[in-house]
Every structure is written in structure tokens, then in C-alpha cells.
Structure 1
Amino acid sequence: MSRPSVDAVAATADSLLAGAFDSAQMPDAVERLRQLFDGSKACLARLGPGLTAADAIATNSDEVMQRRCYEDLAEDFIRFAEGLRCVPIGSVYRDNALFGEAALRSSRAWQEWMAPQDMYGGLGCRLAEIGPSQWFFDVQRGQRQEPFGDDDAALLQSLAPLLRRIALVSTEMSQVRWQRDETRDALDAVAMAILLLDGELRVTYANAEAEMILMETDSPLGLHQGRLFARNSGDQRLLKQGVEAALRWGEQPLDQGRSSLLIRDRREGRPALSACLIPATPITAGSRPRRAMLALKRLEPATDFVAGCRQLFQLTEAEARVASALASGQSLTQAAAVQNVRISTARTHLARIFQKTRTHQQSQLVSLLRSAAQPLRSR
């Protein structure tokens, strides 16, 4: 065959590098390799235990034939992997010479998988050995094509270092994708909504529970052009301030008042959400996180206001009884009398309630409790 142009080789190398980081682009890269060698079929693959369809990228792929490779013919290909162990990493081989033409063509793998796909003479390179598995690249010539020559072998030898790096990076990226998918599955199983936000409130990730909340028409939170927003303007302001505070955590301690929010819709019958904001990335000296994590929990209606206060503000039973009395319009003296406690004890409870609700005056506290009452009522 005529030697490919420098531009063709460079374009193939660029395509391989893109495919190493984005598996969706790898089939195009392997197709470019096939064309580079004027082959009938090319394959970049792992051979070894536990073969799956994700372990090989092949050109001219037939789904039925590919499935056979990972099912009833898998043992034959695993044996081929063992035969590759005698080839030094980065070395080019011819499969007829390595396995013996007679032995190769008497195998089920050749008769039932390779020959039907016009794979009559292969040129390959062993790229890496990772545990019991072998990574290799193989390109085939058809029955009516000329066998690979020395120029073809020299070209593949020159590409071997790049192909080896591609195989190693692809393996690392597969592990990263597996860990990412495993993490997403775990987060989807959590009964809490998790979102990642940037400084403009753009949502870069949402688990299954968060997606459900954002799709609900009666949710206090929504999504507009990829940005999170609270339907209540006051909560929107607090949400924005909370994200900004989380993104400044590397420079100053996070204000507890900014990190915990009650997001509610004041329209009748609408549910409320308890929200917590923290940095989503590790903090190092002098650095700022790039994302904030928003954790949301639905506030289920409580059977009574006392239980609701305990749920919302982490009050004790006694503190919640005092808070409920104040919200109903009683004075602190009246609340103490009803609860059969001293006024000094009631004042102690009130001080702790102020601290937990981040309020400073009784009127402010009552306003907060009454505004929070709606989502706490029984259905």
C-alpha cells in the first residue's frame, strides 16, 4: 500500500487522543486507524477474564457477531490473550506467525467470527498488561487484499507508544466513569435531594430526588434555563446569599445562618423544603470551592404544631411547647403557667429557641413560627 500522508497520521493521532477521554469518539478513531492501514477491520481491545462489549472498539461492527465474541467464543479469545504474553509490550506481531496459520484457522474464533468478517491476515501490537488482561490493537486485511508489508509494520511500530498511552488512559477513564456511575447510583438511592450549583445558581448535577422536586409544579424550587430559582422572592435572595457564602468558605467561616434555609412557597397548600448549603469541593489554603452542594429535605406535615417545631428547628419537647404557645398568641408568662414551669425556666427555653431559630425578638420569633405553620399542618 502507499504510505499515508503526514496529515492523515496526525489526524488519526488527534482522534485517538480525543477518544481516550471521551469514549463516544473512540469508534471514529479506530475507523481512522483502519483506513490508515487500508484494513478490512480494526480493533482496539482488552482480552482477558470478564469480557464485555465495552472492552473492544471494532470497525464494521455487526451487533450479532460482536455479541458472539463476548459469549460462546469468549474462551477462544481469552486463550489468544495468553498467547500474546510472549510478545513484548509495544512490539508488533503478525497473527498468522504468532499463533501459526494452521492453528489459527482451525480455531472456532477464526472460522465463526474472523473469516465471516473477511479477516484473513492481521497485524497487531501488544499495548499493555493490566492484571490478567492484555490490551492490544489489531488490524486485518481481507482475502482479496495484499498481506501487510514491512512499511505497514513500521508504521504500526511508530504508533505503538501513542496507542499504549491511549490504552492506559482509556483504562483509567473507564475506572473514573465506573466510580462516577457508582457514586451517582448511590446518590440516587438517598432519600434526600442533592444538587451541585455554581455561583450563578446553574445546576451542574442533580440526583433523582432533586430532579423529582424540580419537576413538581407545586415545588418551592424550579429550574429556568439551567438555573435554580426559588418561587418566593425572599427565599431566592437567601438562596443566592447562601451559595455565595458557601463559595467563600475558603476565605471565611461559613455563617450558619446562610448555610441552613427554610425554602417555602407561601401559597396555600404548598410544601416546604429544608435546605443546607456547603462547599462541594475540598478546601485548601487560599483556594475557593468551584461548586456549592445544596441538600434538600421535604418537610412532611406534622400531626401537631409542637412536633412540627421540633422537626423544623431541632427544639426539645419543652422548647417546642413554649414556641407553640407563643405562636398561638400567649405571652411568655401564660406559656409558663400552662406548662407548669417557672418563668425563669420559660425564659431559658426562650433563649434557646432564639438561638436555634436565629431570631432575636419575640415578635420576630412568632412571625417565623406562624409563617412556618402552613407546611406543618395535617393533611
Structure 2
Amino acid sequence: MNVAAPSEVDDILAVVKAEHVAFWMKDIEAYERCHLHAPHTWWWSYWRHGGLAIRHGWEEIGERSRQAMAAFLAPSPSYAFETNWDNMTVRVSGDMAWATFQLHYPGSDGPISDLPGTTSLAYELRILEKHDGEWRIALVSVMVPGLDQLGGPVLRLGLDGRVIWKSADAEEALANDDDLVIRNGQLRIRNRAADLRLQSAIQWAAQRDRFLMARRGAMPVIMDAGEGLPTRLWWVVAESGMILFSFGNSHLVEERLAMAASAFGLSPSQLRLANRIVQGQSLVEIADASGVSINTVRTHLRRMFDKVGVHTQPALVRVLLSVAAPR
């Protein structure tokens, strides 16, 4: 491996950082100047909202970049200029170089117009080639774990349930949740039956990361409160080799209930009832909010029992939230 002169490393970093600024400021001409326009260029990316994307050749990469900037990407000075760059490593060998780094984005409303929330952390790689004395990017790799794209307060857990990271709003959520407790550094549920489900879900998530490539998924943890009473729901999420605990994720609930409605033939009114139950409303609260009698709500509930093949409200919730699209 050749030892690069500091000036050459500076030139490489200048190209990498210019590409970053150009992308978030929607400067397509500056963005194009940073890249090698060749058939062998690559773009590899992963993020929670869209999964894996692989693009090959500048013709495709360039066209998709132009479309993205024109259609839905909003200029973001905070992302362009206030992002922190960490763990930067640059290696050079002849006319080839590669740079690895982590980007910590500032909090904002997010520059992608149809998606709320921020992207706080990204792991990135650039491979560059030198042509006519100028460094150009030949490969872009962007991996976004998406901790803050889950929605709501989130904890990251170790294999034994130990809390190793908290989102900014998780501390308040823990303080206001009478059913959760951190005991000897480990997340527990005071209700023994629900805690056993939590520990089982953590072990399930740990098994998703046994090999070189991790698998993802989400398991509901439901605390049975009894018939007609509010349901408590949390999620254990296996994501990007991590075990995450979500206090409440409306996107996951909506996704699972939509799949369940299709699988079991639930009517729109039954789907609305199921959603209210999962949100933690009692049957009395649902009746009051809907302007109907408690007996009407119970009738709808019994019809759902028949369709799903269960006999209790907690079992109904467990079955509905366990329906997931194949991954």
C-alpha cells in the first residue's frame, strides 16, 4: 500500500465532501463533476424506508440523481453544512483510493419531502479513480441503520436485554411508563407473563444476527389486561444487526393490521375497531368515541373473533399483529 501525500488525501476529501454538499443542496452540475462517468460505476444503498438499491453505470446513476433532485429532494443547508464527519479513513494505491466514514446528521424535519423524520447516522464508503490528474468517485455506498426512522421512543438492547442506547425521547417515555422498569441495567416489564414475552422476543431478535448477514423483523410484545380493558403493546425489532425496543410504532401497527384485514377478511369498521384496541383504548372508550353502545362494540368484537378463530381480546391482538408480509 502506497503512503499518500497529505495533499493527495486533501484532494480526495475535497471531492467526497463536495459531492455531499452538492447532493443536499440540489446542485446537480456540481454533483456530476464529482463522479466518474463510466459504465463500471456503482451505487449501493440501504435505508429503512426503501430497503436495498443497487444502480450500475453512470447513465443510470446520473439520470436517477437528476430525477431525485428535481422531483422530491428539498435543499437542506443543515444536512449539507452541519453534518458531523467521524471515523474518516482514506487509503490510496496508485490511481485508486477509498474513503470510509460515518455521518451524523443534525436534527431537522428531513429534506425528503414525502417522509417525516431525520436520518441521524449513516455509514458510507467511496471508491475513487484518478483520471487526468483528477479524483472522481466510481462507487458510492450508503448504509442507514434507521434507528430514528422507527417512529417514537426507541431503545437499543444488548443480547441480555441491557439498555445500551436511548433515543432523545426514550428517557421521558420510560419515566411515564408504569409497566416498564430498568433493573440492573436490563429492560424488564413488571407483569411476569409480559416480561417472559419480552425476554423471548429479545432472544428471537438476537438469533436474527447469528451470521455474516443479519435478518430483520419485528415481534409484538403484548400485555394482557383482560377482556374489555386497554391493551399494552410494545415492539422488539431486529434491524441491521441490532435489537431495538419500540414503545409504540404506528407504522408497524398499520402495516400489520392492513395485512391481517386482507388475510381474515375484516370489514373497514372491524379494522377501525382493531386499531382502537391496539392503540390501548378500552371497549367503553371505543363505544363513547364511536357514539354507539358497548353492546354494539362487543357484537363487532365477537364477529372478529369468529373470523380470526380466537375467543379472547388478547389473543385477537396477538394474532392480528403477528401477520406480516414475507421478507
TM-score band by shorter chain is: 0.3 to 0.5
Higher percent of residues as strand: 2
Which protein, 1 or 2, shows the higher relative CO under an 8 Å CA cutoff with sep ≥ 6?
2
User: Between Structure 1 and Structure 2, whose CA radius of gyration is higher?
Assistant: 1
Under a length normalisation based on structure 1, what TM-score does the superposition of the two structures give?
0.33
Higher percent of residues as helix: 1
